[in-house]
């Protein structure tokens, strides 16, 4: 038998059943928590079907369609539209994956809020309710809380419902979905008239985060980003600074529109890594180093 007839026989012997079995054995590797892109192919009264390249169409229950619950399904998840979804349940016995657009939107909004916190920005929120401890607010569809001690109006909380407030961040925790805000800190941080680029300021460390330090400047809050601590890489911020410690730094940027004061101890160094090795000496002689650092910034 020649090679051509052997090849033909191999092709004809691969039946539809063989193809179905091979398809069943294929591992699509869809896992809960994974973000996938898919095309919306059908609507019904229970949810939406999405083609994500699996052996069965994935399913989005109505409750997981969108954070915008007041909008029609056809508007938030239009037919034939391609978009990203979060896998919330892995394949069932029929190979169907359960998706959520709502959970993905929540995740994206938390990431945006984390970014706003890192940038030390103030934001607008709407007061939605009250309790003994303070008020609840809506921030980009997320539920936040302002303690009574961090409000300007602390007596008649009911009068704040429906009002918009400018706030700063106290705590943003994605894992516990905890969002704590402060109107008082945002108001204090609004005063930029006493500051200028190149100015040496002194304050106390009020917060230590993986991305840097928050410094209480007595009515305003500045941020020393991790890259502005030293010219050398800082492996562990708590090994260089402690909460409540006094620190001197140079203002390198003022952004009134974003309510942001950027600080630097890096520019006070005489050589790369001095802040890490001899931080106390740098702080003790900060005034003597100020003119040179300011001249570099303003040149």
Residue 224 pLDDT = 96
198 and 291 inside one domain = yes
| pLDDT higher than threshold 90 for residue 69 | no
Mean pLDDT of the chain: 86
Q: What is the pLDDT of residue 59?
A: 95
Average pLDDT score over residue span 86-106: 90
- Name the band, by pLDDT with cuts 50, 70 and 90, for residue 3: very low
- Separation between Cα atoms, residue 231 and residue 153, nearest integer Å: 44
Query: Do 245 and 216 fall within a single domain?
Result: yes
Interval 125-132 mean pLDDT: 94
| Residue 282 in this model has a pLDDT that exceeds 50 | yes
Which residue, among 237, 234, 264, 238, has the nearest Cα to 249 in the 3D structure? 264
CA distance 297 to 257: 21
Q: Which of 25-34, 56-65, 264-273 has the lowest mean pLDDT?
A: 25-34
Q: What is the C-alpha R_g of the chain?
A: 28
pLDDT of residue 9: 44
Bridge partners of 207, per DSSP, are 214
Which pLDDT tens digit goes with each residue over 194-239? 888 999 999 999 999 999 999 988 767 899 999 999 999 999 999 9
Mean pLDDT of 40-56: 91
pTM above 0.75, yes or no: no
CA angle 88, 93, 95 (to 5 degrees): 65
Residue 4 lies in a domain: no
Is the per-residue pLDDT at 24 higher than 60? no
Is the pLDDT at 12 greater than 50? The verdict is no
Residue 248 lies in a domain: yes
CA distance 86 to 93: 20
Q: What is the pLDDT of residue 258?
A: 67
Shared domain for 205 and 288, answered yes or no, is yes
- Summarised one tens digit per residue, pLDDT across range 240-260 is 999 999 999 999 998 866 668
Among 89-98, 157-166, 274-283, which is the least confidently predicted range? 89-98
Residue 100 confidence class, pLDDT cut points 50, 70, 90: very high
Q: Is 3 inside a domain boundary?
A: no
Residues 128 and 82 in one domain: no
Give me the pLDDT at residue 15, please: 58
Residues 196 and 294 in one domain: yes
- Does residue 5 have a pLDDT over 50? no
Token pair listed for 278: 């001899």
Residue-range definition of the domain harbouring residue 178 = 119-188
Half-sphere exposure of 12 (CA within 13 A, CB side): 6
**Structural domain total, the chain:** 3
Q: Do 94 and 178 reside in the same domain of the chain?
A: no
Please indicate, yes or no, whether residues 84 and 180 belong to a single structural domain of this protein.
no
Q: What are the pLDDT digits (tens) for 28-38?
A: 578 888 999 99
End-to-end CA distance of the chain: 86
> Would residue 8 count as lying in a domain?
no
From 131, 163, 188, give the residue that closes a domain: 188
What CATH number is associated with residue 209? Answer: 2.40.50.140
What are the b/e assignments for 188-226, b being 16+ CB within 10 Å?
bbeeeeeeeebebbebebebbeeebbbbbbeebbbbbbb
| Residues 207 and 237 placed together within one structural domain of the fold | yes
């Amino acid at each position: 038998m020649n090679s051509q007839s052997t090849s033909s026989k191999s092709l004809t012997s691969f039946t539809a059943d063989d193809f179905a079995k091979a398809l069943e054995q294929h591992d699509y590797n869809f896992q809960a928590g994974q973000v996938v892109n898919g095309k919306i192919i059908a609507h019904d009264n229970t949810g939406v079907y999405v083609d994500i390249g699996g052996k069965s169409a994935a399913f989005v229950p109505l409750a997981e369609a969108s954070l915008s619950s007041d909008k029609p399904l056809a508007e938030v998840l239009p037919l034939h539209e391609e978009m990203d979804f979060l896998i919330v349940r892995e394949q069932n016995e029929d190979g169907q994956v359960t998706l959520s657009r709502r959970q993905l939107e929540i995740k994206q909004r938390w990431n945006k809020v984390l970014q706003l916190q890192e940038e030390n920005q103030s934001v607008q929120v709407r007061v939605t309710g009250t309790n003994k401890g303070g008020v609840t607010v809506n921030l980009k569809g997320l539920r936040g809380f302002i303690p009574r001690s961090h409000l300007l109006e602390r007596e008649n909380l009911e009068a704040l419902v429906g009002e918009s407030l400018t706030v700063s961040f106290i705590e943003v925790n994605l894992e516990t979905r905890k969002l704590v805000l402060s109107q008082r800190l945002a108001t204090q941080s609004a005063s930029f008239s006493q500051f200028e680029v190149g100015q040496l300021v002194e304050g106390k460390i009020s917060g230590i985060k993986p991305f840097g330090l928050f410094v209480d400047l007595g009515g305003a809050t500045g941020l020393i980003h991790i890259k502005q601590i030293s010219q050398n890489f800082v492996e562990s911020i708590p090994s260089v600074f402690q909460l409540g410690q006094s620190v001197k730094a140079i203002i390198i940027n003022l952004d009134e529109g974003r309510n942001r004061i950027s600080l630097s101890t890096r520019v006070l160094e005489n050589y790369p890594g001095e802040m890490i090795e001899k931080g106390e000496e740098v702080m003790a002689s900060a005034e003597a180093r100020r003119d040179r650092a300011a001249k570099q910034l303003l040149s």
